[in-house]
């Protein structure tokens, strides 16, 4: 997993500040592009990266995300790691 520096941004739900993104998908460059999924490590809110900033997903994106098992499992995995 590679990490990439991004402009300082805030989670659209909890306001946590972040300045790095990592990629867990098949494209291991770590470089976010428009449409990349961003997940807050603090509250696990799912966002869409666009124009160098996170935004909330629209209705069509929410439906697509709900059918993506990889995206659904990431917050759960993170929760399991922090519970112990």
| pLDDT for residue 84 | 43
| pLDDT for residue 2 | 74
With 60 as the cut, is the pLDDT of residue 79 above it? no
Residue 27, C-beta contacts closer than 8 angstroms, at least 6 positions apart: none
3-state secondary structure string, 64-81?
HHHCCHHHHHHHHHHHHH
Q: Give the predicted TM-score (pTM) of the model.
A: 0.76
Question: What are 38's strand-pairing partners?
Answer: 47
| pLDDT for residue 1 | 63
With 80 as the cut, is the pLDDT of residue 4 above it? yes
Please give the tally of structural domains in the chain: 1
List, for residues 10-41, the tens digit of each pLDDT value: 999 999 999 988 876 566 666 788 988 888 88
Q: Residue 10 is part of which domain span? A: 3-83
């Amino acid at each position: 997993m590679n990490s990439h520096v991004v402009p300082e941004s805030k989670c659209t739900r909890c306001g946590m500040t972040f300045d790095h993104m990592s990629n867990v998908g098949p494209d291991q460059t770590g470089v976010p592009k428009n449409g990349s999924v961003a997940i807050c490590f603090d509250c696990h809110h799912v966002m869409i990266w666009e124009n160098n900033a996170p935004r909330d997903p629209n209705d069509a994106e929410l439906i697509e995300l709900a059918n993506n098992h990889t995206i659904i499992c990431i917050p759960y995995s993170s929760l399991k790691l922090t519970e112990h």
